[in-house]
Each structure stands twice: as C-alpha cells, then as structure tokens.
Amino acid sequence: MKLDKSIHTFLTHCVIERNLSELTLKAYKKDLAQFTNFIPDNIYTIHEINKFTLREYIKYISGKYKPKSIKRKVATLKSFFNFMERDDIIETSPFRKIHLKIDRSKTLPKTISKSSIKTLLKYTYIERSKYNHNSRGYREATRDIAIIETLFMTGVRVSELCQITVSAMDLINEQIKITGKGKKERVVPICANSALLILKEYEELYRDNFVPDSSFFLNRDNRPISDQSVRRIIRKYCAICGIPEHVTPHMFRHTIATMLLENGVDIRNIQTLLGHSSLSVTEIYTHVSLSSQREILSMRHPRKDIN
C-alpha cells in the first residue's frame, strides 16, 4: 500500500473508530506530513519503511526539537505503524526492531508572578472603565476580562476555554463543564466571586447571540473565539499594563497549579482541576513549589545570620 493511502486509512480510523478530537487529529496530520516529507523519493509504499528509516528520522527530529515534541512525534508514528500491523497491512511494525530512550528530563513550567497577575487583572478593569457602558468597546472589554478571569480561576487549556459551550457554563450552580483531552469531561467550580460577577455580566451582554450548543466566548463577529484571539487579548493587556513577561494562556494554568500547591492544596485535587489523566503529570508542579521554597529559604533562613 502506498504511504499516502496508508496515512489516509489510519486517519479515517482515528476519526471513525477512535473518535479523536480535532486538535489530536490536527497534530497527527502534522506529524505524519513531516514524516512523509522526510522519506526519500525512492520509497513509495509503507512496506519499504524499516528500522533504518525510522532511526534516520528520529536522528533528524532530535536535532530540531525538544524532548517533549520528539516524544509526541514518535508516539504518532508508533500509533500509525501499530495500526498498520493490527490491520494486517504490514506484517510487523518497524518500531519492534528498535529501542528508544528519549531524554525525559522535564523543564519546569513557566509561571506568571503574583505581582504581574495582580497588575493584569487590575488594568483590564481600568481599561474597560474608559468605555461607555453601551458601547462595543465595553462589551468586548467585558469579554476579555471574563476570558482572563476564567483562565486564571480554572487553569483550563486555551483549547478547552474556546470549546466551552453556553450550556456548559452553569452560572446558576456556579460551575463549568470542561471537555478536555480525549473528550473527557470534568466539572470545575466557579470559586471566585469576581469571576462569577464578570461572567454573569458577559452573559447578559452577549445573550442575544447565544444558542444552546454554541460557544460561550465569542469574537466580534459573534463566532466562536479562537485560541489565537485569546493569545492576542492577553498580549494586548500585558502591553497596556507593561508586564515584562511573555505571558501565554498556558502560563495561567501553570500559575494557578503552582499557587494552589504552595497554599497547601492536595496535589490530587489539583490533578482533578487540571484534568490530568496521571498524577505523574501533575507532580511537575511540586518541583516548581520546591524551587520557590528554596528561593525563600535562601533569603530568609536564620542560618545565614549565625556566624
């Protein structure tokens, strides 16, 4: 079977049988396209790909990407070849012939300082106060604040935030139903009064544009807001208030997890909040917490004053 047809068969399987999310499918397509572009022109079929081809490809991506990205790209290929083997398209996956040991060292997640969070939230409300209550500027500023408050309050991924529907935003019971990776659902309580108030005001301003299954957060054309739009909103307000950090939506997730851990919240509760399938994923925040403790102790430990 030709390689492009094999990939099409695999992606169809991912849609119909595995029911994978659009984001996962997009990542699979991107990784498989990159692999296809790497393959020499004299290789036409999947049967011609062997362990030597894979070794060369892994060597190639190892010089271009970080361990986390390499792991994902290799996992995509493994999934592809395992399906080909199970579907009897190839006799044996070439991955059975090689043993990989990818560097699993974890980079500590980047967080936003407490002072920057405070400044950002303060200036979003100040900016909104410059608009007339009935203006489009006020309406969009309210949406921007609601997005930032939700990111910080819940620690949701930006993709999850963009997928929140009107019916999933339950402001009466003060909770949000989040659809995470693998279409797994979790319910996150709205525990901050400031967030609840701004979400209620946003809902009131945009109610006429809502339908039950539509996205809760809308752009200026009343279409579902995109992750790129959320990034632009954050950059806009960071520039307005002069925050030096390069703040991304995902940094809110890292920040709330770290702050909760440092405030004594049990790591399993943080795992549930973030929607991590494994506790080992959440445990990276313990390293952040320990680094923070080290910094505090190095400055304030009484031993340095005892000679």
From the list 73, 128, 139, 253, the catalytic residue is 253
Angle between helix 67-86 and 3-16 (nearest 10): 90
Q: Is 84 helix (H, G, I), strand (E, B) or coil?
A: helix
Q: Is 128 in the active site?
A: no
Q: Is 231 in the active site?
A: no
Residue 227's nearest CA partner among 164, 286, 291 is 164
From the list 68, 231, 235, 250, the catalytic residue is 250
CA distance 25 to 22: 5
Cα Rg of the chain (Å, integer): 23
Q: Tell me the Ramachandran region of residue 239: left when phi exceeds 0, alpha when psi lies from -120 to 50, beta otherwise.
A: alpha
Q: Is 285 in the active site?
A: yes
From the list 177, 181, 186, 200, the catalytic residue is 181
Q: Is 246 in the active site?
A: no
Type of residue numbered 143:
R
Q: Count Cα neighbours of 23 within 13 Å in the Cβ-side half-sphere.
A: 13
From the list 28, 157, 206, 254, the catalytic residue is 157
Q: Is 157 in the active site?
A: yes
Q: Is 250 in the active site?
A: yes
User: Which residues are known to be catalytic?
Assistant: 157, 181, 250, 253, 276, 285
